[in-house]
Amino acid sequence: MTSTGHARTAAIAIGTATLTVLGALLVGGSGEVSASPPPEPKVQDDFDSLGPEVRATKPAGGRTVHYIDQGPRDGRPVLYIGGTGTSARAAHMTDFFRSTREDLGLRLISVERNGFGDTEFDKGLGKADFVEDALAVMDRLKVKDFAVVAISGGGPYAAELAAKAPDRVSALHLAAALPPYGARPAFCDLSDDALTAAVRDQIKDPRKWWAFPDDSAVKSIPGFADTAYEEGARTYNQRGQRSDPAPQVHEQRLYCERPGPDLSELDAPVHLYAGKKDTTVPPSTIETWRRELPGTPKVRTYDDSGHDVQYRHWDQILVDLAGHGERTVVCKGKHTRVLVAREADRLVAKGSATLGSCAWAKK
């Protein structure tokens, strides 16, 4: 056979193969292709949250108050009072357990303090004014009773509120919270110039303000550090104030005020949380709080925590806020359990469980 003949034979073979394949794809000669098209891509119908929205309200005859409100409208309301140098959006730093908070039906509300974030600074305002602002926001939201969780420098404000409106506080949770009782903090002895210089050096770089020790559990939370830095930048620069130290100095001076408010009218369960390695608000302050609080507070202290206890054990705080204070969050095997305290204590003592969500065990 000539080369031309070979080429013609090959072409016929290829054409036949092509027709065979096409024939297999056609149904009954109708021209319809039997192979299924790729599945339809899915696009969500709602937006994912980028964190809480800061809102503003102006009570009658009052100043503009900024706040956040996240969670179900019919959920259990919780007033979140962040530590010193935090904006209303600081609650976003606890969103690493947002799913748990939502499952527990908690509604988290935070009111911004004087001079931070979006809120203008007024050197004439004190802790009582924050309480007035917080109650005005709760009234606007039609929230009568609410739990309070205060972190670090939020402690004195929580005490002020509990003394002013004890009938509206359904529970009080104090996590590494500075007490407005007992010995005054060491910085109270500094001159205004010295305190201003120290504060300016700290707040000009959010990475320094929000630095945690290398062994801190927060290092295992994806994105925590960057969220904290953004919070620091918001607190001190949101309005273009360029890290003005005046609001921070003013707030720290408020922490020096003595005596603290009378809490004898508070008739609500109280939870106290402390990290045994905390050098900022030492665990000994638990006893200071105990002397001022009526009744017998429930105390949770942790060997594994310093001044990060509010984050390392935020899972337990959420469970307590939801009214399950008789239970303890533990990791058993590879699953998180919320067990009756006695059973949890037994498993932890045996070494077959650890405190907190199993998410911490993955660090």
Q: Tell whether the model's pLDDT for residue 20 goes beyond 90.
A: no
Q: Which pLDDT belongs to residue 76?
A: 98
The reply to whether 335 and 214 lie within a common domain is: no
Q: Tell whether the model's pLDDT for residue 17 goes beyond 50.
A: no
> What are the CA-CA distances from residue 62 to residues 30, 57, 113, 119, 185 (Å)?
77, 9, 14, 13, 32
Q: Which pLDDT belongs to residue 62?
A: 84
Q: Model confidence over 63-87: pLDDT tens digits?
A: 999 999 999 999 999 999 999 999 9
Is 275:283 a contact under the CB 8 Å cutoff?
Answer: yes
Q: Domain containing 228 — which CATH number?
A: 3.40.50.1820
Q: Choose between 359 and 18: higher pLDDT.
A: 359
298 phi-psi bin (left φ>0, alpha ψ -120 to 50, beta other): beta
The reply to whether 186 and 171 lie within a common domain is: yes
Residue 271's Cβ-side half-sphere holds a number of Cα atoms within 13 Å equal to 26
24-33, 243-252, 292-301: range with lowest mean pLDDT: 24-33
Q: Which pLDDT belongs to residue 14?
A: 45
Residue 197 located in a structural domain: yes
pTM of the shown model: 0.89
Residue 97 located in a structural domain: yes
Residue 119 located in a structural domain: yes
The reply to whether 103 and 115 lie within a common domain is: yes
Q: Tell whether the model's pLDDT for residue 7 goes beyond 80.
A: no
Cα angle at 172 between 171 and 174, to 5 degrees?
155
Q: Which residues pair with 339 in a beta bridge?
A: 328
Q: Tell whether the model's pLDDT for residue 180 goes beyond 50.
A: yes
The reply to whether 150 and 74 lie within a common domain is: yes
Q: Percentage of the chain with pLDDT > 70?
A: 90
- pLDDT-derived band of residue 22, with 50, 70 and 90 as boundaries? very low
Q: How many domains does the chain have?
A: 2
Q: Tell whether the model's pLDDT for residue 29 goes beyond 60.
A: no
Alpha-carbon gap, residue 334 to 155, rounded angstroms:
35
The reply to whether 290 and 318 lie within a common domain is: yes
* 60: its two tokens: 């009658």
The reply to whether 320 and 341 lie within a common domain is: no
- pLDDT-derived band of residue 363, with 50, 70 and 90 as boundaries? low
1-10, 162-171, 225-234, 348-357: range with lowest mean pLDDT: 1-10
- Write out the residue range of the structural domain in which residue 209 sits: 55-325
Q: Which pLDDT belongs to residue 34?
A: 60
> What are the CA-CA distances from residue 39 to residues 24, 32, 36, 42, 43 (Å)?
22, 18, 8, 9, 13
The reply to whether 237 and 287 lie within a common domain is: yes
Q: Percentage of the chain with pLDDT > 90?
A: 88
Alpha-carbon gap, residue 114 to 121, rounded angstroms:
5
Q: Model confidence over 132-173: pLDDT tens digits?
A: 999 999 999 999 999 999 999 999 999 999 999 999 999 999
Q: Tell whether the model's pLDDT for residue 311 goes beyond 60.
A: yes
Q: Which pLDDT belongs to residue 12?
A: 41
Q: Tell whether the model's pLDDT for residue 338 goes beyond 60.
A: yes
- Which 3 state secondary structure label does DSSP give 265? coil
The reply to whether 317 and 335 lie within a common domain is: no
Q: Which pLDDT belongs to residue 51?
A: 94
Alpha-carbon gap, residue 309 to 279, rounded angstroms:
12
